[in-house]
Each structure stands twice: as structure tokens, then as C-alpha cells.
A and B are shown apart, each in its own frame.
Chain A
Amino acid sequence: MLLLFIIIYAVSLMYMAVTERFRHYAWLVGLQGWLLMGIALVQLGPGESWSSKIFVVTETLLFKGILVPYLLFRIIRNTRINRVSRRSMSAFVSILLSAFALVVSLSLTRWVSDSQAGTLFFGVSLFGLMSGLLLITARQRIFSHLVGFLVIENAVFLFSLALGAELPMLVNIGILLDILMGVLMLGLFLSKIGERLPNLDNERLSSIKD
């Protein structure tokens, strides 16, 4: 089951590289949230306390599975921008880079081959990190950058699940803070950026000069 969730998670990252519609991004981020909740349920085994399990699963479901996708859809509705800029990198180049990122992540994971943190978790997290960075650098609209950040956050969360009961509660608090930061950024985007930058192009954000 765990393997299936992680494979679907990796496929969602690949799909993100090719899709150009913002609605798909929002669906995929939501799907990742639910997958992470599933992984958390399976992964947090008997070693973990019940309070910790409830904390992790609830925060994943509430924030990553429900609130974040809801805010993304609201941004899309408010701004009425549906797809990435035409000047962005083509889907073909994007999928090539994504495949390259996957190969690099898996190779690195194989090289490390450490049982401590679960190689699969490490490899897919690294792939998530690279995918997020790719979205931020290759796409021109700020919405894509925001999704890139959320993908990175999900990657970090996935890796934190790999460590499970080994780490203190403080790590969970850190993760919660990270999630809240993402929600806050979505809020900032919704209330300030969206209304001032109707077409959400990052080229408009270049008024600060030397």
C-alpha cells in the first residue's frame, strides 16, 4: 500500500511537469495532500504515540488535503487565469527535465542506500524538491511559483514521515509551521498580489532596480 501511494505521488510530480492548466495543478496538489495523509496513516506505526498520530494525520488532512487546494481554486476563480504563460518552457522540455530529475534522485538514492531513512522516501522527496524548483524556475506566472513552493513543502513533509517515531515532537511543530507559512502565502497572494497583478506575470514584478 505504502509503495502504491509513493508511486502515485511520484507520477503526480511527473504530470505536474507536463500540464499547463492551473486547475490541474490545484487538483494535483490536493491529491498529493490526500496521498501524504495515506502515507502518514500507514507509516506512523506502533512506535508512535496516538497523540502524535492524530496530530500528523489531522494537520495533513485539514491543511494539505482540504485548505490548500480550496485556496488554490479560489485564486484561480478570482484571477480567471487558467494556464501557464505561453512564453514558459514547452511541455516537452519540461518533461525531459523532470525525467532527468527523477533519474538523478533515484541514482543518488541508490548510491546512498541507507536503511535509516527509507531510500524510497528519500528518493521521491528529492524528486519533489527538484520538481518544485523546476516549476519555480521554468514557469513564468507567479501562480506556478506558488505551486512549486507547495510541492517543495510536500516533499519535505514526505521525508519527515520517513523519520517517523525517531524524531521528537518538535519536528512535527516545525512541519506545522511550514504548512502554515504556505497557507499564509496563499492568503497574501489572494488578498494582495492577485488584485494588483491581474495577469500574474512575474515580469510585472521587476520594478525594483539598482
Chain B
Amino acid sequence: MLTNLLIISLVTVLLVVLPRKRVYVQFFAQIFFLVQVAFAAWAVLNRGTTALAYFTFDTLGVTYYVLMALMGWISCWQSSRYLGREPLRESKIYLVSLIALNVALTGVYFANDITVTWIFLEATTLAAAGLTYHRRTMRSLEATWKYVFVSSVGIAVAYLGVLLLGTVASSEAAGGAEPVADLSYAGLTQAIAAGAGNTLYVKLAFLFILVGYSSKLEIFPFCTVGIDANHSAPTPASAFISSALVGGGFVAVFRVWKTMQGSAALASWTGHVLLLVGGLSLLMAAVYLGRTRNLKRLAAYSTVENSGLMMLGLGIGGLGVWAAVLHSLAHTLIKGSFLLQISVVGKMYGSYKAARSGNYFRADPLGALVVVCCLIALIAMPPSVLFRTEYLILTGLLAGGLWWVLVPAALLLVTVIYWLCVKLLPLLSRPADLSKIDKTARNPLLSAVLLLLVLLTFAAGIWQAPELVGLVDTMVNG
């Protein structure tokens, strides 16, 4: 089935590239995303199976894939409106890059081998670069260059980490057991739990991989390039990058983190590293959120904050891990919805600068409702599901006696909430001249769909559905 998806992707890319009429180009791009939705349904029904030896449809991968298919389809739909009458060649490159990013992320989600994950993450850099360079301005060139360069440096460093783990896989275990000699996550987990290889190599490997993947997950230290890429890419693509690609980064880090949990010493060490990285990401987000005046960068720094919280959750362990996974899932939906609605705002006001917008409630009531709901969700105010996850993470820190993390993290979260409210509320209520805005850019159907998605996350915050609890449990322990 995976081969079929790959063939369909290649055919769709051809069908997007060849036509000379815009309507056909957009039609075939939509077809690809509909096929993906169908494949998502197939993957749900065939969980636990393995395809082409290197891809396993486990619950973690399938769940993220379903979310990606959903966000990808909505992003593609909004892209066709957003790109409007832009030159056909650029639109084709944009849509092909979006499809390529989807295919690469499919590989990241389902890969059962650390090298395969790495290969597909490298591919996401190329695909995302195509989206970032869409405008072909000096600014987009700068963002693309920085993204490609820093991501590639990061990915190269991560590969050194993969090779270091390779030494572990090819080492004899403590009791003289045979080496596993493969780089599958299962094999690595088994080797590390058996005490194979040098512990320092494993520690260095984790450090290198975490730093290398930080540009994808948008955490400290390489998150800045992700922010610039989000800023420069067309907003529907930013929505996809901030949701699905960040999800891909999380899946990649989470799988590596899980391989370390068989050894108590390594689990403790990785926990401390993640606490540090999470704390620094929160700090960065809190500082830069105060400085930015651009709605897209605001969303991007909010991603850094949320990814930082996920790292704190993993760092604590236990219930924190559960919270981190749920946080990541909810963030995928919320941030994607928020940025897609912001794409409508940008089109209406002709700018993403916060100072140039206002009175959005009057201009587009349904869209404004989506922004309000997303704001409530992002600042983790009840009934947001993020309230639940952040509560679990903070209480986890308290229970673990990690005061040195808890106090600054709580203060930084308050700062983040303050800045998000200060920067976003004027968009809704500040008096503004609405005669110059482009009211045709409104998209009530899109806003209704996005509202539904955010309300779903609210429902998850209010009601602990046994199915959702079971799903996250399986993702954490499976």
C-alpha cells in the first residue's frame, strides 16, 4: 500500500506539473490530499503492520499521519485561494513542494529505523525550502538559505549521532550477548537496555540528534531558522510546517528518547538534557514574543514555547510523557488552525503586521471567533486541552522536586500568556478603518472547519474520553 501511495504521489506530481490551466493544477493537488485521507483511513485499519521492511504503521505514526492528512488537505484548499492569480509556474512549484513535504513526513512518521527517519527528515528540508522560497524576494532567499544551511548542519550533526548509535548496535551486550547489528528502534532499545556499547557514545548521540532535529521541532538551539521559514513561506504552508513538520520533529525525537529508557542512568541523563532544552526554548519564546510585531512570527514563537513544554514533559518522565504527547497532538491541530485563519487575516488586511489590523470581529465575525478560540487554546485557559497538559507538566515538576525548573517555567509561561494577549487582542477589537480591507478574502467555510477542529480540542480538555486516553497510552507505551 505504501508503494501505491508513492506511485500515486509521483503521478500526481506529474499531473500538477503538466497542465497549463490553473484549475487542473489545483484539482490534481486536491486529489493527492484526498488520496492521503483515504490512505490515512487504511493505515488506521491496518495498525501494527509493516511495509517495505522499514515502515511500521504503529499508533504513534498513524495518529500523526491522520492529523497531517487533515491539515495537509485544509492547507492545500486554502492555498488555492491564497495563491490566487500568482504566476502558474510558482504555484506549481509550491504545490509540488507541499506534496513532497507530505511524502517526506509520511516516511518520518512510519520509519522504524533511525537511518530511515533521518533520510526523510533530510528530505523535508528540501521540500520546506521550496515553500519558503516561493516569493523569490531577497527576504525569502535569506530565509531559505538560512533554513537549508542550518537544517543541513543540524542534520549532519544528527547523522553523527546516528553513527554513534550504530556503534552501540554493533557492540556486544554486557552479558556477552550477540550484537543486534541493525539500526531499528526496536534493535537499539534492546541493545541499550542490555548495556551494549559505550554510555558516553549514547549520551553524545542523543545530544547530537536532539540538536540536529531542533530546527524541525522548533526548539532551542536551531529554532530560529524555523521561525524565519514560517515567516517567509505563504501562510497556508506555514500552517502545515508549524503543525505537521513540528509533529514530525517530535515523533523523531520521541522515538530516539524511547530507545534510551531501557537504561535508568541514560533515562535520567536524557531527562536532564530535555529539561534544559525545554527551559531554554521557553525563555527564547518569552523574550522574542515581546519583541515581534508580526502575527506569523508570533505564531512561530508560540510554537517554540509549546515545543519547549513538550520537552519538559518528556524530561520529567511518567505522566509528563503522557502530557507531552497529548500536548503535541493538540498543538498540531490548534497551531495549524490558527495559522490558516491568520492567512485569511493577512489577505484581508494586506499585511501581517499587528499594527495594521484591527476590528476583526466586525470584519469577519466567524474568523474572529476562530482567532479567539485559538488564543484561549494557546494560552492554555480552560477548557483548552493544553490547560490539562500544562497542568500535568507543572505538577510533574512539582512532584519531582524540580523547583529550579518549575519556578522559571511558570514565570515564563505567564510572560508568554501576557504577550500573546497583548499582541492578539487588538486585532479583534482595536478601532480600524474597514473600508480598505479585502472582504472577498473571507472564507466562512474554512473558518467553520477550523472552529470545529479547535472545539474538538476543547472537548478533549473537558471530557477525558476513554478512547483518547487509551490512544495516548498506546502511543506512549506502544
Which residues of A are in contact with B by a Cβ distance under 8 Å? 108, 111-112, 114, 116-117, 125, 129, 132, 136, 142, 145-146, 148-149, 152-153, 155-156, 159-160, 163, 166-168, 170-171, 173-175, 177-178, 181-182, 184-185, 188, 192-193, 196, 205-208, 210
Contact = CB atoms under 8 A, between A and B. Distances in A.
A184 B170 CA distance: 32
Contacts of B197: 114, 116
Contact of A111 (B160, B166, B200): B200
Interface of A is mostly: helix
A210 B142 contact: no
B171 interface: yes
B159 interface: yes
B232 interface: yes
A185 B150 CA distance: 11
B25 interface: no
A86 B152 CA distance: 27
Contacts of A112: 198, 200-201
A153 B169 CA distance: 22
B453 interface: no
A159 B163 CA distance: 7
Contacts of A116: 167, 170-171, 197-198
B232 A136 contact: no
B160 A155 contact: yes
Contacts of A149: 149, 152-153, 156
14 contacts: A132-B153, A149-B152, A159-B163, A163-B166, A166-B181, A167-B169, A170-B115, A173-B119, A178-B156, A181-B125, A193-B145, A207-B142, A210-B291, A210-B292
A185 to B, nearest CB: 6
Interface of B: 54, 113, 115-116, 118-119, 122, 125-126, 138-139, 141-146, 148-149, 152-153, 155-157, 159-160, 162-164, 166-167, 169-171, 181-183, 197-198, 200-201, 228, 231-232, 288, 291-294, 297
Nearest to A172: B115
B115 A185 contact: no
A185 B156 CA distance: 13
A174 B231 contact: no
Given A152-B157, A210-B294, A167 B118 contact: no
Contact of A117 (B126, B148, B201): B201
Contacts of B293: 210
Nearest to B152: A181
A153 B149 CA distance: 12
A205 B150 CA distance: 14
A172 to B, nearest CB: 10
A135 to B, nearest CB: 11
B115 to A, nearest CB: 5
B167 A114 contact: yes
Nearest to A180: B122
Contacts of A114: 167, 197-198, 201
A159 B139 CA distance: 37
